[in-house]
Structure 1
Amino acid sequence: MAKEYTYTKEVDKSGKITLKVQVQKEKFAATKEKTYTRLSQDVKVSGFRPGKAPKAVIESKIGPDLFEKTLNDLLPEVTFDILQEEGLEPLNRLKYNVKKVSDDEGVEYEAEFVEYPKFKLGDMKKIKVKEEAVEVAKEDIDAEKKRILDIYNKQKKAEADSDKKEYTDATELTDAIVTDMKLGMDTVAKLEEQIKHQLEHQKKHLAEDKKVQDMLDEAIKLSKIKVPQAIVDEEIERQEADYKARIEQLGLKLEDFLKAQKTSLDELKKTWNESAEKRIATELLLFEIVKVEKIQVTQEELSREIASIQDPKMKEEYASEAGQRFVMSVILQQKAINWLRETVEGKKQPAIIIPEGVDTGKE
């Protein structure tokens, strides 16, 4: 039996792979016939049972859909066979570009993608992360007191203006002002204690986040993960399009906005490049941990996390099939991070808790 297709493979410097494929006319005809049979069942022709009307009549009613849906069936099928044959694993969604299609010549098309980079997880027990001491300085408390006093002065000035009265800004917080602000306390000392507690809480969270990020950075280095530039470029293109759209929504010209910000698109792209590369490397690391360590999410865990979402609209969104897949990916990533922390720190991590918004990058 003659091969149903031929192909060549090209790889550029950025890591992008292009498959150039020629599908024989016989394969195209066979796929088109299967697609026709499927679509014909939905075509209604007076006097005929579904799919039993003359072929020419049915094809005229299906119209261009026949070619389009044939290609939608054919291209992924042939490309999947080639990927299997070559042992290739795409990192991103394949992009198809149809060059020619006809009953006489078959189909000529290209499929572009970036291959999943091959790497082996490093020895995570070698990672050493320094614990940062959390301290709240007097200057931190004073700065927060000043911010609170500024808010108080603005409110009082607005009230005075509405009553057409004069108001002189208070220069320091007093027990009377603290009481007047109705913060649930009546002295500056109690306010300072509350401020210190809140700042300690914030700094502990920041220190914890930094510690985890340091672990991830070291794990990426140990695993020698190299992110293909092509996938980074793809991410930068998306960020650029989003950025331009946001500026336009504000009714501003991109050039004027960049000038006012004293930056350029090239400078922004450099920043985006660094952050995109780091983010993708982290995702690759966590995915590999999930795969190697056979980490799974149970249906009970998934249902529990979705049930814990308070916002009804958000809960409905994440209860959908696509939403559940996303929540599952978030839980898997968090489990992978917990595995890394347990390996590095040698102590059990708390159960997975997804923040209320599940706001971790859903597109």
Structure 2
Amino acid sequence: MYTREDVNENTIVLTMTIPREAFDKSYKAILKDQTKDSKVKGFRKGKVPSELLEPSMKPMLQFKTFEKLAPMYINTAIQKEKIELIAPPKYSKLPKFDTKDDLEFKVEVTIMPEFKLGNMKKVKIEKKEVSIEKKDVDQAIQEIKTNNKTKVKKIGDSWAKEIAKKLKLKDITNLEELKKEIKNILTKQKEQMLRHTYQENALKQAINLSDIKIPQPAIEFEAKEREKAFEQEMQQRGIKVNDFVKQSNLKMEQMREAWLKDAKDALESDAFLTLYANKRNIKVEKEEIDKKIEIIKKSRPNVDQSIFSNDQWLEYIKKVERKEKAFKEFIKETLGKEF
């Protein structure tokens, strides 16, 4: 049994009830399991009466029983209410164990509030003209010379031909042609950087126009997950976190602040793209999912093949693909087809 109270747009309080009979039954099973290997002078192993051991263990066993049962009741309520969690449920009231009544407890559930898509016509991006100056090309030439050993030491036509061959640049016969090619490469790089900047700025404006505000518990949970992933990576690499932090001349507080910011940005983008996909009725066809899976299979040939038939994983891939389509459609709408 449970009741639901919508406290605000992103918080639900569920008041849960565990029947006393169900709690006592589970408690007795846990008590039996905990005492089966107990050793007490005067009794054979496993033959110590539970009544003798229970008083000292009771508070711990009661809470252990609650920890076992509560998630099942919470998950049942969440499924019935069709609640999409964005952070783990948080206990706001624990039950009283030493009564004969049913056990009542409360959990706060954080959900994503409903957002309203802003006017995408208000997204305005000032585009810059891409220009590469002579000094940029000269600097690139000098860096190439510094980073590559050649037989010809002096920058000139012969050096240009040798370095072009080494860098696999075709149809370069003199220094001017090399400079022209480098200018083209630098132009494309700058265009790509600007394109990425335009897209980021457009997304930020759209998030603000849609008034996307992520509940703090969700941000903190996501940041904590990033910290856990970092710790696991360090452990796999055989590096102590404290040593890495010292060598990087950083403080854990700084890293946690960065994780919080990254988490906030990621969740805002995710929420906006989900909203945009819903409002623009963006769908993902089975053929698109199959194509995505084939790409993943080729890039990760050693992965466990059973994952590709896992319903939860497939649903995740579908969501990712839908958001990618939403992003492309959003960029096309706000910046134009050329982006």
**What does residue 138 of structure 1 align with?**
134
1:301 to 273, 288, 293: 288
**What does residue 114 of structure 1 align with?**
110
Query: What is the TM-score with the length of structure 1 in the denominator?
Result: 0.64
Rounded to whole Å, the distance in 2 between the matches of 1:286 and 1:139 is 41
Cα shift readout 1:215-241 (whole Å, capped 9, x = no counterpart): 111111111111111111112212222
**What does residue 221 of structure 2 align with?**
234
Match runs of 1:2-151 below 5 Å? 4-5=1-2, 19-25=14-20, 28=22, 74-81=73-80, 83=81, 89-92=84-87, 94=89, 111-151=107-147
Contact 1:178 1:187 in 2 (8 A): no
TM-aligned CA deviation for residue 110 of structure 1: 5.1
What is the SS of the residue equivalent to 1:226?
A: coil
Rounded to whole Å, the distance in 2 between the matches of 1:136 and 1:298 is 43
Q: 1:203 to 1:307 in 2, by over 3 A?
A: same
Rounded to whole Å, the distance in 2 between the matches of 1:349 and 1:93 is 42
Q: Is the aligned partner of 1:170 residue 2:153?
A: yes
Q: 1:330 to 1:190 in 2, by over 3 A?
A: farther
Cα shift readout 1:137-170 (whole Å, capped 9, x = no counterpart): 33332333233223323xx6xxxxxxxxxx9x93
Q: What amino acid sits opposite 1:285 in the alignment?
A: F
Q: What amino acid sits opposite 1:331 in the alignment?
A: E
Q: 1:182 to 1:130 in 2, by over 3 A?
A: closer
Q: 1:297 to 1:7 in 2, by over 3 A?
A: closer
Q: What amino acid sits opposite 2:185 in the alignment?
A: Q
Rounded to whole Å, the distance in 2 between the matches of 1:72 and 1:253 is 34
Query: What is the TM-score with the length of structure 2 in the denominator?
Result: 0.68
What is the SS of the residue equivalent to 2:331?
A: helix
Q: Which moved more, 1:296-305 or 1:132-141?
A: 132-141
**What does residue 163 of structure 1 align with?**
none
**What does residue 338 of structure 1 align with?**
328
**What does residue 41 of structure 1 align with?**
none
> What percent of counterpart residues are identical?
23
Superposition CA RMSD, Å: 4.1
Rounded to whole Å, the distance in 1 between the matches of 2:67 and 2:242 is 40
**What does residue 324 of structure 1 align with?**
314
TM-aligned CA deviation for residue 101 of structure 1: 9.0
Q: Which moved more, 1:214-223 or 1:70-79?
A: 70-79
Which stretches in structure 2 are left out of the alignment for 5+ residues?
A: 27-65
Rounded to whole Å, the distance in 1 between the matches of 2:295 and 2:179 is 34
Rounded to whole Å, the distance in 1 between the matches of 2:167 and 2:4 is 74
For these two proteins, the number of residue pairs brought into alignment is 291
**What does residue 250 of structure 2 align with?**
263
Contact 2:2 2:15 in 1 (8 A): no
Rounded to whole Å, the distance in 2 between the matches of 1:109 and 1:8 is 13
